[in-house]
Amino acid sequence: MDKKLFYDLVETHGTPLLIIDHNKIRKNYLEFREKLPRVQIYYAVKANSETEIIKTLYNLGSSFDVASLHEFNLVFNLIKNLEPKKLQNFVWNNIIYANTVKKPDSLHFLNLYKPLLTYDSVEEMEKIKIHCPEAGLLLRIKVSDEGSVVKFANKFGIDPKLSVDLIEKTIKTGLGVEGISFHAGSQCNNPQNFVKALQSVADIFEEAEKRGCIIGETVTTGSPIKIVDLGGGFPVQYNGTEQSFIELTNIINKELDRLFSVDKTLIIAEPGRFLVANAGTVISSVILAKHSTEMPCYHLDDGLYHTFSAIMYDHLEADLKSFKDWEKNIESKVFGPTCDGLDELSENSYIHGSKNAFLPRLSEGDLIYQENIGAYSNASATHFNGYPPAKIIHINN
């Protein structure tokens, strides 16, 4: 951490302040490409939809995973001035609308650009047939998310046993099925989730071929290229106990080479957190310091309804630190600025796994910071109680 830089930024902009370091984003992107060389990166915009982040990744050559028309337009604004053929190719080759639930008016708009969409039910397929018949489809299957911090199997994915029936029905309606997608759960700490999911995809491809279902976009050679979408879930090292990214990617690479030939399969993934989590540091000011209580209590100008929404919605364990690192740390309670008792950043009975902070004796105006908070933080911040979200400053972009 460059404390002088952070002090200077606070002096200029005040607090709360969320600092996004684009050098870290570039480093994460290049590491992902190095460790998973067969995988095309589709940045999950939902993790942090700042236009500056999207632009940095676009300049690196990233593709994009969007989950709403608004997110689609954030990417589209970067390419809208391309000549028509290049624009269409970018949408087809570099954007996936990976939400399996879409509004009809969004589909109607997207049909202009022949997008790649995901679906996991006959009902969504029928909706796409009506409103976006020019789309290519990926069928999302349900896979195990055991050991993952954020789970998705309760909400998304068709049972793999039913998938070929739906693929067959989809193709008969005249829609094109380009491949299979899955998500092993966010912050996946169980590599077997990927191993089992990839085997399920290979089995589905084999069964579909036996039934005469052609999956994939047919290229000039006449051979269809099937898409395998690994989803997200690639772990970030928040506290050092998480699954090793290198170990996970070694396992994934082995399975990809075992199950899917290079010339017949395109492998894509949708990392979000992995690319931006460690790029974000939030700095807050103490607006009230209580030392008359049994335990010191500090009220900050940022809280659970703002940047620290990651605690509520993303299972982030707060690791609050002070610039007064030369003083002894003592157990303390830390609260956000709103009038809601839920707005507590330290031990919170409503939030599993939260714990008290250990901080030096602080006074009003002192600064507290939290690192590794670039994902699912400002993205879910609100204006509750009239407190605006943290100001966002981008550095090295």
What whole-number distance in Å separates Cα of residue 258 and Cα of residue 61?
27
Q: Output 154 or 7, whichever has higher pLDDT.
A: 7
Type of residue numbered 302: D
- In three-state secondary structure terms, 18 is strand
Give the confidence band of 9 by pLDDT, cuts at 50, 70, 90.
very high
What whole-number distance in Å separates Cα of residue 52 and Cα of residue 11?
23
- What letter would DSSP give residue 261? -
What whole-number distance in Å separates Cα of residue 313 and Cα of residue 278?
17
- What letter would DSSP give residue 236? P
User: What pLDDT was estimated at residue 208?
Assistant: 95
16 cis-preceded (ω within 30 degrees of 0): yes
What whole-number distance in Å separates Cα of residue 74 and Cα of residue 64?
10
Contacts of residue 247, defined as CB under 8 A and 6 or more positions apart, other chains included, come to 191
- What letter would DSSP give residue 84? H
> To the nearest whole number, what is the mean pLDDT of the chain?
91
Residues of the chain with CATH 3.20.20.10: 22-276
The number of helix segments (H) and strand segments (E) in the chain equals 12, 19
Specify the CATH superfamily of domain 3-17+277-395: Lyase, Ornithine Decarboxylase; Chain A, domain 1 (2.40.37.10)
Mean pLDDT lowest for which of 55-64, 88-97, 226-235, 308-317? 308-317
What whole-number distance in Å separates Cα of residue 72 and Cα of residue 64?
9
Residue range 276-293: mean pLDDT, rounded: 96
Catalytic residues: 339
User: What pLDDT was estimated at residue 327?
Assistant: 78
Q: Angle 353-355-360 (CA atoms, 0-180°, nearest 5)?
A: 160
- In three-state secondary structure terms, 339 is coil
Q: What are phi and psi of 129, to 5 degrees?
A: -60, -35
User: What pLDDT was estimated at residue 157?
Assistant: 86
User: What pLDDT was estimated at residue 185?
Assistant: 75
User: What pLDDT was estimated at residue 231?
Assistant: 92
Task: Kindly report, residue by residue over 192-219, the tens digit of the pLDDT.
Answer: 999 999 999 999 999 999 999 999 876 5
Closest residue by Cα to residue 79 from 106, 45, 103, 113: 113
User: What pLDDT was estimated at residue 312?
Assistant: 85
- What letter would DSSP give residue 117? E
- What letter would DSSP give residue 47? G
Residue range 2-21: mean pLDDT, rounded: 93
Q: What are phi and psi of 332, to 5 degrees?
A: -145, 160
User: What pLDDT was estimated at residue 326?
Assistant: 76
Give the confidence band of 1 by pLDDT, cuts at 50, 70, 90.
low
User: What pLDDT was estimated at residue 219?
Assistant: 58
Asked if the model's pLDDT at residue 97 lies above 80, the reply is yes
User: What pLDDT was estimated at residue 222?
Assistant: 60
User: What pLDDT was estimated at residue 2?
Assistant: 80
Asked if the model's pLDDT at residue 351 lies above 90, the reply is no
Distance of CA 22 to the CA centre of its chain: 16
User: What pLDDT was estimated at residue 349?
Assistant: 53
Tokens of 47: 């993790």
Residues of the chain with CATH 2.40.37.10: 3-17+277-395
What whole-number distance in Å separates Cα of residue 44 and Cα of residue 66?
6
In the numeric block, the tokens 């809280």 are attached to 303
Q: Which CATH class is domain 22-276?
A: alpha beta
